[in-house]
Every structure is written in C-alpha cells, then in structure tokens.
Structure 1
Amino acid sequence: MLIVPSSSSLKLAKSVAEISGSTLSDVERKRFPDGEMYVRILSETLNMDVAVLGNTRTDSDILEMLLLLNAAREGGAKRVIAVIPYFGYARQHMRYKDGEPVSSRVITQALDNSSDEIICVEIHDEQTLSFSSKPFRNLSAERSMTDHFMNHVPDYVLSPDDGGYDRAKKLAESIGTRAAYIFKKRIDPKTVEMKLPDIDFSGRTILLVDDIISTGGTIIKAIKLLRQAGASRISVAAVHGVFARDSDRIISSEVDELAVCDTIDGPYSTISIAGTIAGSLER
C-alpha cells in the first residue's frame, strides 16, 4: 500500500503509514504565479494500491484531494482509496433553501470520479454515504476515545444535546461510567436554552463529548452550566476540532482538558485515529 498525503493531513498520514507498514510517498507541491495549484506524486503508482489521505475542510483541501486522486489514477494505480478523516461540507447534506446546492453530494460525486472507495471518520450526517456509487465506509472514533480516557475515567460522560447521546453512552459504557445529556431547546433562530439533567454535579468530574467543535458556542454554554452546578473537573473531547474563530483558545481556558482526534491537525489533537484508519486499509 502506498500512502499519499494531502498537505492537510501530513502528520496523520505518516502515522498511518508507520502503523500499517505502508510506504509514505513524497508529494511535490507548488503554486503557479497565477495562483493555480500544482501537485505531483513522487512515488511509482503503477499497479499499486494507493490511499490518498486528506481532508475536505477547505476549498483548497478539496481541490488538492481531487488532483492527487486523479494523479494516482492516471499513474496506473490498481486501486485508489480516498481516505478523508474530516469530511468537510457534510453539514450541507440536503437543500435547506431554494437555490442551494447539496454540497456533500457534489464533493462525493467528484471523489467518485477518481477513486474506487471512500473512507471517512464519523461523518456529520450519514446521508452523505448514500451519494456515492462506490463503497463508502464511515469509521468510528470510539476505540481511540476509549483508549485516551480509560486511565482517567470521569463520573459522567455528557453530551451537549440529545442528538449526541448515543456517542456519549457508548463511550461511557466502554470506560465504565455513566452517561447523560443536556437538554437544549431553540427559542428562536438566535437563542438556544440549555438545561442540565436532574443530577447533582457538585464535586463531580465531567467529560463533555461531541462530534464536531466549530465555533464552540454550545460547548462553552455547557461548561458554564457545569461550573455553576459545582463540577470539580471538566474535560472536553470531540472527534473533529474545527475550532473556528479561535474557539479552542476560549474553550481551553475554561476547562481542565481539551482533547480532539487528529482528524484535523492542531495543538489539541492528542487522540490518535491512525490505528483505526490503518486497520481499515488492511481490509
């Protein structure tokens, strides 16, 4: 297996290659004077199984992935796998207003053109999986989360809303503790009311867990509620740390620990998903 890293996932690609015993390709990258992107896979791809690993978080990330996948295909690869740790644009998996595109379908169909299979990690909405004509696997980060928190088990694993309760419950069961969720009610387009469950959080250790932290507004409100309720230690974890508007700086200043998976590289990406991805490539 040849691992070809996108610039969005260099560290993770290296870890996946080391764990799986695969070859990590070098990639030449540059920008032309007019701003156009150039990429070149520097390893031989003829008759190889090739996994191109990178995110679709930004417009530039998407273009780089498509160019690398096409380069592998044009280079005669036997099989091309698009490995996308963080599948950006997955929140636009349906048309909410007239005139909008279904963004995740557009990206999925573009990926289909040069890949034989797509692998992602905890995509925001599984509706996107149905947009592909190729095998599309959605990996769970549960094992990685469990390994990280097994040695410092909180009194409660808490989801910031009922939609994420299943994730919190599975993690709680894996590490041997209890789960609950915060009640969230939208009052109007700009106002959300949050209420803690009927639990005595005084002196308790809490792990708040979510799939994605972007602006962090919901998480920050949850932290404030738990502090007011007397929680002694609060940790925050997520699969994908997008951290828009420097929300990681704000959140980290309010909690005892902030940890996210390394699907997106960053200072708080301390939960490794590399083993899970490596295992999926061996199938």
Structure 2
Amino acid sequence: MIVSGSTSQQLAAALAAELGEDLARVEYERFPDGEQMVRVPPVEGRAVVVCSTTTDAAHVELLQLQDAVREAGAEEVVTVIPYMGYARQDEAFEPGQPVSARAMARAISTVTDHVVTVNAHETGVCDFFDVPTTNVDAAPRLADPLPDDLHDPVFLSPDASAVSLAESVRAEYGPGEVDYFEKTRHSGTDVEIEPSETDVAGRDVVVVDDIIATGSTMSEAIAHLDDPARVFVTCVHPLLARNARLKLAEAGVEDVYGTDTIERAVSDVSAAQPVARVLEE
C-alpha cells in the first residue's frame, strides 16, 4: 500500500499506478493548539510512506505516518523521501551547531525498515540513516519535457561537481554537449561566473541542477551566457522559494521543468518510475 504525506500526493498517486498497488486514503488534521494528526486505513504487508520533508511540519507528519502504518498492521515500512529537507546541513559549520541532516535521519530511521531518497543534495547524508538507504537518480526524467527541436544544445551544470546531472539529461535526450559553469572568486563579494569552455552563441542551452531554491545563483549565471538562442532550466527538486520563478524569467529563461519530488506548477515529469524500480527489487 502506498501511503502519502500531504506534500507528496501527486508522486504517491503516480507511484501507486506505476506499481499497481493500492493508494491509501490518508486524512490530515490539525488540532486547535496547532498540533498535527494523521489517520491511515488498515494495512497488510508492506507500507510505502511517501513524504517530501519540505517543511518542519512535513518532518513531523512523516514520523507520524511511519508510526501510524505500524499501528495499522504494516509488517514492513519503506520510507520514500522524494525531497529531503535539511540535507544541505550535512556538517556542523561552526562550533556548537548540529549536524541537522544526521539528526533528521536518525529520527526517521527509528520506525522504518528501508529509506529511499531521490537525488539527495549530498549523497553522504544517506550514511546518516540507521537502516538500508537507496538514493535514486531522477535526473534523466528531465529530458522528457524538453523541446524536440533543440538547436545544437549545450547542457550546463552549475559547477563541475554536478556535471553528472547534466550528463544524465543529455544522455537521455540524445544530441548535445555537456559543460559547466565555472566560478572564479576574486573577493568575498566579487564572483565571476561563466561557462568553462563551450561557446553557446546561437545555441540552445539547458541548465541542469538538483535543486533550485531562490534562483539567485542560477539567474546570475544565466546572465553571463554569451548570446544563447534559447535557455531552458531543469531541476529535480523545484523548490522555487519566494520570487525564484520571476528571477529566472527576468534572466531570459524560456521555460522551467522539474519533477514531482516537490509539487509545483513546473513539475512536468514524475520521479515515480525510478523509485518504482527500486521498490520492485
């Protein structure tokens, strides 16, 4: 049975259809004092809890869902975290600070048998869980919504460390070249951003990232492109906080495509297929 958190209803429905499993009718409540409560139907066998932890409230809801399905009779609990909040806090940056990703992972591990993440921002966070954890790559799905007529495309990642994302999308799309933005820091406030080698003039550019949060860095990078024909932005996790979409439009981005790990207007493709493959193993 697929059991959805309130943040992941679209993906949970797609996953249930992909696997041919029942989709639980979950009820979400909030008491007058602000506390949350969930209610799930009886469960037999395996329960797959699907919940993106985009907020602190979503973290609490995930823990409640895990406990609820155990109470409802689940013999096995698999927790799918399409987007893992706090994953970027994977170390203590200053003395006295927590390793927040570890704290969240330990809490989630207490009532589950297996965790599945999707393109965790830092794959090392998977080691924080106390149960077997699989990190799924949904980046190839981002090739599907791209126009079929891209002209001599260049697939760019935000930096060299993320170039594998761009390679995944290009490999799925077909033709194209892969490059990355090169950042040169001249001072604490002066950062030069430009494609490392490839000439993009007159060519279609596809920028590929795992997360778009505020859109500031990406829009700044796009502004440094030298006369591209069209610019498209793809990301696995379209957080798009505040006015991120406006920033990208102002930078000249023609369209933005994301997956349903975070449900937004730009969630054009589903991560259900790669997640389903792991659950079928």
TM-score (norm 2): 0.94
SS of 1:66's equivalent in the other structure is: helix
User: 1:164 is matched by which residue type in structure 2?
Assistant: A
**Contact 2:256–2:266 under 8 Å retained in 1:** yes
Query: 1:9-158 residue pairs with structure 2 within 5 A?
Result: 9-41=8-40, 43-45=41-43, 47-149=44-146, 151-153=148-150, 155-158=153-156
Distance 2:90 2:277 in 1: 28
Q: Identity percentage over the alignment?
A: 34
> Are 2:200 and 1:198 aligned?
no
SS of 2:278's partner is helix
Structure 1 residues 152 and 164: alpha-carbon distance in aligned structure 2, compared to 1, 3 A threshold = farther
What corresponds to 1:279 in structure 2? 277
Which structure is higher in helix share?
1
* Partner SS for 1:81: strand
Matches within 5 A, 1:153-172: 153=150, 155-172=153-170
2:264: which partner in 1? 266
- What SS is found at the alignment partner of 1:143? helix
Measure how far apart 1:150 and its partner are.
7.8
Q: Is the 8 A contact 1:252 1:258 kept in 2?
A: no
C-alpha change, 1:143 and 1:196, in structure 2 (3 Å) is closer
How many equivalent pairs are there? 278
Any stretches of 5+ residues in structure 1 without a counterpart?
Answer: none
Q: Which runs of 5+ in 2 are unaligned?
A: none
Letter in 1 for 2:125: T
Q: TM-score, normalised by structure 1?
A: 0.93
The offset of 1:152, in angstroms, is: 4.2
**Among 238, 242, 247, the residue aligned to 2:239:** 242
Take 2:18 and 2:45, find their aligned partners in 1: how far apart are those partners? 19
Q: Is the 8 A contact 2:162 2:209 kept in 1?
A: yes
Instruction: Name the CA distance, whole Å, in 2 between partners of 1:185 and 1:30.
Output: 49
Contact 2:142-2:257 within 8 A present in 1 as well: no
CA deviation after TM superposition for structure 1 residue 124, in Å: 0.5
Q: What is the alpha-carbon distance in structure 2 between the residues aligned to residue 237 and residue 144 of structure 1?
A: 10
**Is the 2:80–2:117 contact (alpha carbons within 8 Å) kept by the matching residues of 1?**
yes
After TM superposition, give the deviation of residue 133 of structure 1 in Å. Answer: 1.9
For 1:150 and 1:231, locate their aligned partners in 2 and report how far apart those are by CA, in whole Å. 16
Q: Which moved more, 1:20-29 or 1:163-172?
A: 163-172
